[in-house]
């Protein structure tokens, strides 16, 4: 037997287990974010109110958790695809992964702006430097702001595709895929500053991440630990 050609499934299983746990961590850190950010409008027409509301511990903490959660989410999605790649939903899962991660990465600059720049502007505005709001006004007038803005919308479509892939795979809880689909549908108007839907989509995403992470963990740990042999290698010696 060529030892280099055989990869123990326990190694793959352990890596997928870690990926499943990162999805769980993504869900745990995501769940409170909507509540922490509630009541702070992100409409560019209300920049002063946005900045003043962002200058609070709750909002800052919520945005910091959002960044942490999305990092865990991206890492966990790699493991989710690796698992779904062995099912009939592989192609759809790949498209969902590319769309979700690709557009989510484009959206991350807005997360950083809202997490660190907007609260700082709010702090200065509270001290009387109201003209600092012009920084936000100018930022939202920047023509290339359209790129992260579209990213914030379109990564929800990737989650819908991943939810469908989970449902069609028949290997994970179907209702966990349904949570991803519901999040993607509600997440678009929620991103467009419909406050109630924004809060609901934030909670739905956390629940979806938790459910899929637990489902993936259970599925991986329940598989038999048999060696996977590369095509063309021999299981015999001598």
Q: What percent of the chain has pLDDT over 70?
A: 90
**Domain locations along the chain:** 6-221
Q: What value, to the nearest 5°, has the Cα angle with vertex 221 and ends 216 and 222?
A: 100
Q: Which residues contact 54 (CB under 8 A, 6 or more apart)?
A: 40, 60, 63, 114, 118, 119, 121, 122
Report the 10 Å Cβ neighbour count for 101. 18
pLDDT in tens, 123-151: 999 999 989 999 999 998 999 999 999 99
pLDDT in tens, 17-57: 999 999 999 999 999 999 999 888 887 788 999 999 999 99
Beta strand segments in the chain, E: 6-7, 228-229
Q: Whole-prediction pTM value?
A: 0.86
Token duo for residue 205: 């995403």
Nearest-10 crossing angle of helices 174-191, 195-221: 150
Give the length of the chain: 238
């Amino acid at each position: 037997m060529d030892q280099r050609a055989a990869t123990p499934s326990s190694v793959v299983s352990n890596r997928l287990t870690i990926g499943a746990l990162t999805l769980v961590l993504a869900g745990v850190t995501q769940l409170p974010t909507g509540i922490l950010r509630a009541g702070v409008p992100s409409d560019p027409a209300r920049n002063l109110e946005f900045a003043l509301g962002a200058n609070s511990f709750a909002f800052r903490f919520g945005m910091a958790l959002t960044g942490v959660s999305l990092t865990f989410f991206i890492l966990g999605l790699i493991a989710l695809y690796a698992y779904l790649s062995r099912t009939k939903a592989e192609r759809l899962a790949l498209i969902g992964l590319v769309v979700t991660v690709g557009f989510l990465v484009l959206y991350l600059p807005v997360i950083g702006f809202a997490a660190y720049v907007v609260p700082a502007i709010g702090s200065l505005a509270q001290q009387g430097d109201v003209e600092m709001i012009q920084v936000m006004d100018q930022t939202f007038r920047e023509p290339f702001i359209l790129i992260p803005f579209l990213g914030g919308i379109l990564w929800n479509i990737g989650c819908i595709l991943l939810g469908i892939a989970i449902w069609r795979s028949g290997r994970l809880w179907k209702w966990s895929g349904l949570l991803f689909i519901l999040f993607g549908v509600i997440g678009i108007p929620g991103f467009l500053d419909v406050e109630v839907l924004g809060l609901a989509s934030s909670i739905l995403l956390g629940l979806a991440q938790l459910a899929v992470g637990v489902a993936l963990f259970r599925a991986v740990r329940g598989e038999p630990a048999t060696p996977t042999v590369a095509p063309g290698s021999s299981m015999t010696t001598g």
